[in-house]
Chain A
C-alpha cells in the first residue's frame, strides 16, 4: 500500500472508530469490541509504516489553506516511533479502560470512548504532520478533544481541574506558540519540517533565544515549569485517561513537538552553535528537581505520579536544550521508555482504586500481599522510571548523560543522578509499604483481591515490555541512526 494511504488510514481509523462508538451507543459489548478491533487495525497500519519506511521523507499535501500554508503530512523516524508507540498502547489501554470503566462504575461510556478515539486520531495527526501549521492544528484539536475526558465526572472538582487544564494549554499555545509560528512564517516564508532546520540564520542571537522561549513555553503540553500546573489538575480524569493521555498521548505529544521542532525547524546544529538553548538547560534541570521534590510531598498516588511525569518530561526538554544528536536520541528513548514505565504506574494506581477505592499512599500498607501482580508491575515500572538496569529507562538516562558530557555541561550529569535518587525516594516506598508493612487494620485487607484480568493484565504487559526494552533498545537506536534522524 502506498505510504500516503497508510498515513491517512492511521489518522482516519481512530476517528472512524470514534464515530462508531456513538452509533453503537446502546450496545456496550459491540461498541467495545469494535473499538478494540479499530485499535488493532490502527496499530497494524502504523506498524506497516514502521516496517515500510525507507528513509524517504516526502511531503504529502492534503489541502492548501492559503498559499504557503498547507495541511501536509510526512514521515520521519521520530514520528513513526511516536505513532507506533501511541497506537500500540491504545490497544492495551482500551482493554484496561473497559475493565476500569465498568469496574469503577463510571457513567457515559460512549461519550468517553468517542473522545478517547478522537484524541488518538489527533495524536496520529501530530506524529505525521509535515509542517508546523499541521502540527499546530492537531495539537489544538487534541487539547479540545481531551477536555471532555478530563471533566468526565462532571463534578465541580472535575470541572475546576479541566478548566485549569484548558486555560493553560490553550493559553500557552495561542499566546506563545502561535506567535512563534507566525514569526517563523513571516521571517522564513515556510513552515515545512526539513531536516537541519529552516531558519538558516534568519534570526539574530537574541531573537533566537526569544523564539526558543516561545516554543519551550508555548508547547504547554510539555509541562515545563512554570506551565506545569495543568498536569496535576488533569488528574481528576478517570485513570485510563491519565494513563494513556497523561502518560503517553498528550504529554508525549508535547515533548514530541519540542523534539520535532528542535530537529526539523530549528535544526540541532544551528541550535548548538548559537547557544540559544543554554538557559533552557538550566530551567529544565530546575523543573526536573523541583517537580521531584513536590512529588515527595504528595500522598495522593495519582498526584505523585503527575509530578513525577512533569519531572520526566523535563528530561526531554533537557534533551532538546542540549542540542546534539546524542541528546535527540536520549530524548526519543525517554519518550518511549517513560511511556511504558509511566503507563504501568498509572494503570496500577487505577487497579488499586478499582479494587479498594483507595487513592492515598498512606492507606495502601499491606495491599501488596493481596494484589501481588499489581504491585510487582508497579515495582518494575518504577525501576524503569528511575533508570536502573535491567529496565528500558536506564538507556534514556545513559544517552542523556553522554549527551550532556558532549555538550560540555557536566552539572547536568549531577542533576540527573540526584533526580534518580529522588525518584527512588518517592516511587519505591509505595512498593515497600505494600509488601512489608502490616495493614493498619488486619481485617480490612482480606476483603480485597486483584480486580478482573482486564484491569491487572495490561499493566503487567507494559511492565514486561519495559523489561524487554532494556535488551532491544538497540533496534530503536539503529532505526533512528539508519534513517538519519541523528548522526
Chain B
C-alpha cells in the first residue's frame, strides 16, 4: 500500500524525507561562516532537534505499513534519485536523530575537556556532516547515492576521531588506520556498485531488483554482491575486518565515540540488509549460501572471541569497543539466519544496543571528566562519590548483559527464539555463553565502582551532563518494558522486506 506522494506540491509534509537529510547539511556550512562557539552548539542542537521531530513524523507516517517516496528534483526514477522511507529505515532515522540530540546535550558540558574551544565550531560542523551522511545513507533508495553519503559520513568521521589527539596523540594513528580501512571498504563497495550497474544498467534499488530478477543466475551481479558484502563488512566491523574499530573508539573524544558506537556500524549493517532484501533476491541460493557459510560463522566467532578479549581489557573504552564487536556479531547473526524472526531481532538489537552502548560510553565519559582516564583502576570507589553516573552505568551494563526488564533482554530473547526456530541449537548455546562473558566484564567494572576503597574523592558531574546520560539509561529500561517502538516497527519492517 505504497502511498505515493504528489510530486511538485509545496506542502511541507510531503518533503519530510529530504528535509530529514538536508537540515543538518545546510546548517553545517552556516556554522563555519558564523564561527561562534555557543551559537554553533545552539544551531546544531536545534538542527538535530528538527531531525528528531521529522523522524518521529516519518515513523508515524510509515507505522501503518505504508512507504513514503520522494523524487529528488521531481525527476522520476530510475533516472532521478529516489528517497524511500519504510518501517525499516524510519526506525534507524529515529535512532540516529535521537542519539545525535542526546550526544549534543552531553557535548555542551563536556566537550571543552577534550577539544580546545577554538575548534568547537569546526567540530560541530563536522558532526553535522557526519549526521547528514548517516541519515542520507539510510533514507536513499539509490545505490550510488548510498555510496556518496557513506563517504560524507566516513570522511567526517575520520576527522572527528582525530580530534581525540588533543588528549592522546594515538588518536591520530587510530584515525589514519580507520581512514585506510574505511577507504578500502568504500572502494570494495563502489566496485560492487559498478558490477551491478554493468549488469543491470540502473542505480535505483527497486529498478535493479526488477531487472536482476529477469537476468536469473548472473555472475556479474553475484560478484557485485560479494564485493558489497566485503565493503560493508569492513564498515560494520565484521570480524576479521574489525581492526580499525577498537582504537578508533578508544581514542576518539567521548562525544564521538558515543555517537559512532550507537549509529555508524548500525547504518552499515542496515545497508547490507537493504541490499540483501531490496536489491538482491534473498531467496537466491548464492545469497543464502554466502550468509550461511560465511557470515554466520564469522558472527558467532565475533560474539565469542570479542567477548573473551573484552574481559581482559583494562582500558574501559577499549573494553566496550570489543563488546561492541560482539554485539555486532549478534546483529549479523540475526540477519544471517535469513528468517523473519532473525531479521526482526537484528533490527531490534540495532536500536536497543544503540541506546545501551551510548549510555555506557557516555557514563564512562562522565567518569573521565573527573579521572582524566578510563583505566579500570582509576574508577575505584566512584560508586560513592559519583552515585548518579555510576547508577546509570549499572543500568546500561545490565542491559548489555540482557537482564530481564532491560532493552538487552528483549533483543536476546528475540534472537534466541529465532535461532531455535531455525534449529541451530549450538548457536543458541553460544549466544548464552557470550552473554555470560558479558556478565564477567561488566561485573568487573561494577565491583571496582562500588566495592573498592576510593583513593581520591571526586564530586558528581553537573546536572547538564547527567541529563543525557539518564535519558539513555531510562531508554534502556523503557525499551525493555515497552516494545511497541522497537518490536512492532521491526516486525512491520521485516514484512515489507520479506514481501
Task: Summarize A's interface: helix, strand, loop or mixed.
Answer: helix
Q: Closest approach, in angstroms, between the C-beta of B259 and any C-beta of chain A?
A: 29
Classify chain A: how many residues form its interface, as a range. 20 to 34
Q: Mark A225-251, 1 if CB is under 8 A from B, else 0.
A: 000000000000000000000000000
Q: Mark B403-425, 1 if CB is under 8 A from A, else 0.
A: 11100001001001100110000
Q: Mark B15-29, 1 if CB is under 8 A from A, else 0.
A: 000000000000000
Q: Which of B362-410 contact A (CB under 8 A)?
A: 398, 401-405, 410
Contact B436 A171 (CB under 8 A): yes
Residues of B within 8 A of A171 (CB): 436, 439
Instruction: Write the chain B residue with the least CB distance to A181.
Output: B413
Pick from A136, A159, A163, A166: contact of B404, CB below 8 A. A136
Contact B420 A186 (CB under 8 A): yes
Residues of B within 8 A of A65 (CB): 410, 480-483
Residues of B within 8 A of A51 (CB): none
**Interface residue count for B (Cβ, 8 Å)?**
29
Contact B404 A167 (CB under 8 A): no
Contact A170 B439 (CB under 8 A): yes
Contact A179 B429 (CB under 8 A): yes
Instruction: Write the chain A residue with the least CB distance to B394.
Output: A144
Q: Mark A162-185, 1 if CB is under 8 A from B, else 0.
A: 010011001100110011001101
Q: Which of A41-90 contact B (CB under 8 A)?
A: 63, 65-66, 69, 71
Residues of B within 8 A of A148 (CB): 450
Contact A179 B432 (CB under 8 A): yes
The answer to whether A185 and B433 touch (CB under 8 A), given A137-B405, A163-B447, is: no
Contact B413 A166 (CB under 8 A): no
Q: Closest approach, in angstroms, between the C-beta of A392 and any C-beta of chain B?
A: 35
Contact B398 A144 (CB under 8 A): yes
Instruction: Write the chain A residue with the least CB distance to B398.
Output: A144
Bound CA–CA A167/B12 (angstroms): 56
Residues of A within 8 A of B111 (CB): none
Residues of B within 8 A of A178 (CB): 416, 432
Bound CA–CA A175/B402 (angstroms): 12
- In the complex, whether B89 has a CB less than 8 A from a CB of chain A is no
Contact A174 B439 (CB under 8 A): yes
The answer to whether A174 and B432 touch (CB under 8 A), given A137-B405, A148-B450, A159-B451, is: yes
Q: Which of A126-176 contact B (CB under 8 A)?
A: 133, 136-137, 140-141, 144, 148, 151, 154, 159, 163, 166-167, 170-171, 174-175
Q: Closest approach, in angstroms, between the C-beta of B29 and any C-beta of chain A?
A: 44
Bound CA–CA A76/B433 (angstroms): 35
Bound CA–CA A179/B417 (angstroms): 9
Q: Closest approach, in angstroms, between the C-beta of B81 and any C-beta of chain A?
A: 37
Residues of B within 8 A of A133 (CB): 404
Q: Mark B58-74, 1 if CB is under 8 A from A, else 0.
A: 00000000000000000
The answer to whether A175 and B447 touch (CB under 8 A), given A65-B481, A65-B483, is: no
Bound CA–CA A320/B405 (angstroms): 29
Residues of A within 8 A of B451 (CB): 151, 154, 159
A-B residue pair count with CB separations less than 8 angstroms: 65
Bound CA–CA A171/B487 (angstroms): 27
Contact B481 A144 (CB under 8 A): no
Q: Mark A279-299, 1 if CB is under 8 A from B, else 0.
A: 000000000000000000000
Pick from B401, B420, B487: contact of A66, CB below 8 A. B487
Q: Which of B314-363 contact A (CB under 8 A)?
A: none
Residues of B within 8 A of A183 (CB): 420
- In the complex, whether B282 has a CB less than 8 A from a CB of chain A is no
Q: Closest approach, in angstroms, between the C-beta of B354 and any C-beta of chain A?
A: 19
Q: Closest approach, in angstroms, between the C-beta of A246 and any C-beta of chain B?
A: 20
Pick from A151, A174, A185: contact of B417, CB below 8 A. A185
Instruction: Write the chain A residue with the least CB distance to B412.
Output: A178
- In the complex, whether B443 has a CB less than 8 A from a CB of chain A is yes
Contact A63 B429 (CB under 8 A): no
Bound CA–CA A65/B403 (angstroms): 14
Contact A174 B402 (CB under 8 A): yes
Q: Closest approach, in angstroms, between the C-beta of B246 and any C-beta of chain A?
A: 26
The answer to whether A182 and B405 touch (CB under 8 A), given A66-B487, A154-B451, is: no
Residues of B within 8 A of A69 (CB): 413
Q: Closest approach, in angstroms, between the C-beta of A181 and any C-beta of chain B?
A: 9
Contact B410 A186 (CB under 8 A): no
Contact B481 A179 (CB under 8 A): no
Contact B487 A159 (CB under 8 A): no
Bound CA–CA A350/B6 (angstroms): 79
Bound CA–CA A141/B403 (angstroms): 8
Q: Closest approach, in angstroms, between the C-beta of A276 and any C-beta of chain B?
A: 19
Pick from A137, A154, A175: contact of B436, CB below 8 A. A175
Q: Closest approach, in angstroms, between the C-beta of B355 and any C-beta of chain A?
A: 16
Residues of A within 8 A of B417 (CB): 182, 185-186
Q: Which of B411-460 contact A (CB under 8 A)?
A: 413, 416-417, 420-421, 428-429, 432-433, 435-436, 439-440, 443, 447, 450-451
Residues of A within 8 A of B403 (CB): 140, 144
Residues of B within 8 A of A179 (CB): 416, 428-429, 432
Contact A167 B483 (CB under 8 A): no
Pick from A66, A140, A166, A175: contact of B433, CB below 8 A. A175
Pick from B404, B436, B487: contact of A140, CB below 8 A. B404
Instruction: Write the chain B residue with the least CB distance to A167.
Output: B439
Residues of B within 8 A of A63 (CB): 481-482
Q: Closest approach, in angstroms, between the C-beta of A281 and any C-beta of chain B?
A: 27
Bound CA–CA A171/B439 (angstroms): 9
Of A63, A182, A186, most B-chain CB atoms within 10 Å: A182
The answer to whether A182 and B416 touch (CB under 8 A), given A167-B439, A170-B439, A171-B436, is: yes
Bound CA–CA A384/B483 (angstroms): 49
Instruction: Write the chain A residue with the least CB distance to B450.
Output: A148
Residues of B within 8 A of A166 (CB): 439, 443
Residues of A within 8 A of B413 (CB): 66, 69, 182
Bound CA–CA A174/B436 (angstroms): 7
Residues of A within 8 A of B429 (CB): 179
Bound CA–CA A65/B429 (angstroms): 24
Bound CA–CA A63/B478 (angstroms): 12
Residues of B within 8 A of A163 (CB): 443, 447
Q: Closest approach, in angstroms, between the C-beta of A248 and any C-beta of chain B?
A: 23
Contact A66 B483 (CB under 8 A): yes
Residues of B within 8 A of A167 (CB): 439-440, 443
Bound CA–CA A379/B447 (angstroms): 40
Q: Closest approach, in angstroms, between the C-beta of A100 and any C-beta of chain B?
A: 22
Bound CA–CA A174/B410 (angstroms): 13
Residues of B within 8 A of A159 (CB): 447, 451
Residues of A within 8 A of B421 (CB): 186
Instruction: Write the chain A residue with the least CB distance to B440.
Output: A167
Bound CA–CA A163/B446 (angstroms): 11
Q: Closest approach, in angstroms, between the C-beta of A146 and any C-beta of chain B?
A: 14
Q: Closest approach, in angstroms, between the C-beta of B390 and any C-beta of chain A?
A: 13
Q: Closest approach, in angstroms, between the C-beta of B422 and any C-beta of chain A?
A: 11
Bound CA–CA A136/B412 (angstroms): 14
Bound CA–CA A178/B428 (angstroms): 11
Bound CA–CA A211/B487 (angstroms): 28
Of B401, B403, B429, most A-chain CB atoms within 10 Å: B403
Bound CA–CA A386/B284 (angstroms): 68
Q: Closest approach, in angstroms, between the C-beta of B344 and any C-beta of chain A?
A: 11
Contact A175 B432 (CB under 8 A): yes
Q: Closest approach, in angstroms, between the C-beta of A476 and any C-beta of chain B?
A: 31
Q: Closest approach, in angstroms, between the C-beta of B39 and any C-beta of chain A?
A: 42
Instruction: Write the chain B residue with the least CB distance to A141.
Output: B405
Residues of A within 8 A of B483 (CB): 65-66
Residues of A within 8 A of B440 (CB): 167
Bound CA–CA A459/B416 (angstroms): 47
> 19 A-B pairs, CB-CB below 8 angstroms?
A65-B410, A65-B481, A65-B482, A133-B404, A140-B404, A144-B403, A154-B451, A159-B451, A163-B443, A163-B447, A166-B443, A167-B443, A171-B436, A171-B439, A174-B401, A174-B439, A179-B429, A179-B432, A182-B420
Nearest 10 pairs of A and B residues by beta carbon: A137-B404, A182-B416, A186-B420, A66-B483, A175-B432, A66-B487, A140-B404, A170-B439, A140-B403, A154-B451
